[in-house]
Amino acid sequence: MAVTIDDIKDLHLDSSPSIAPLETLEVSHSLWHTPIRIVTNHADGVNAMLETGETVYFEFAPLLINRGKTSDDLDQSFNITLGDLGEIVPPLIKQIRASDSDEYPQVIYRQYAYDASSMTFAKDKPIDIAKGLFVEQMSRDHQATTFDAKTPDKNTVATGRPYSPDYYVDLKGLL
Three-state DSSP class for residue 35: coil
- The pLDDT-based confidence of 103 (bands split at 50, 70, 90) is confident
Structural domain range at position 70:
8-155
Q: Tell me if 175 is assigned to some domain.
A: no
Q: Tell me if 166 is assigned to some domain.
A: no
Angstrom distance (rounded) from CA 115 to CA 75 = 31
Angstrom distance (rounded) from CA 135 to CA 148 = 6
Residue 1 has pLDDT above 70, yes or no: no
Angstrom distance (rounded) from CA 47 to CA 33 = 19
Q: Tell me if 96 is assigned to some domain.
A: yes
Q: Tell me if 97 is assigned to some domain.
A: yes
Residue 136 has pLDDT above 80, yes or no: no
49-72: per-residue pLDDT in tens?
A: 999 999 999 999 888 888 776 555
Q: Tell me if 91 is assigned to some domain.
A: yes
CA dihedral 140, 109, 63, 22 (to 10 degrees): 180
Angstrom distance (rounded) from CA 10 to CA 77 = 23
Contacts of 110 (CB under 8 A, 6+ apart): 23, 24, 25, 26, 48, 50, 51, 126, 128, 129
Domains identified in the chain, total number: 1
Which pLDDT score, from 0 to 100, does residue 79 have?
Answer: 83
Q: Tell me if 29 is assigned to some domain.
A: yes
Q: Tell me if 53 is assigned to some domain.
A: yes
Q: Tell me if 174 is assigned to some domain.
A: no
140-172: per-residue pLDDT in tens?
A: 777 777 888 888 765 555 566 677 777 777 777
What mean pLDDT comes out for the span 2-6?
A: 53
Residue 111 is part of a domain; what is its CATH number?
A: 2.30.110
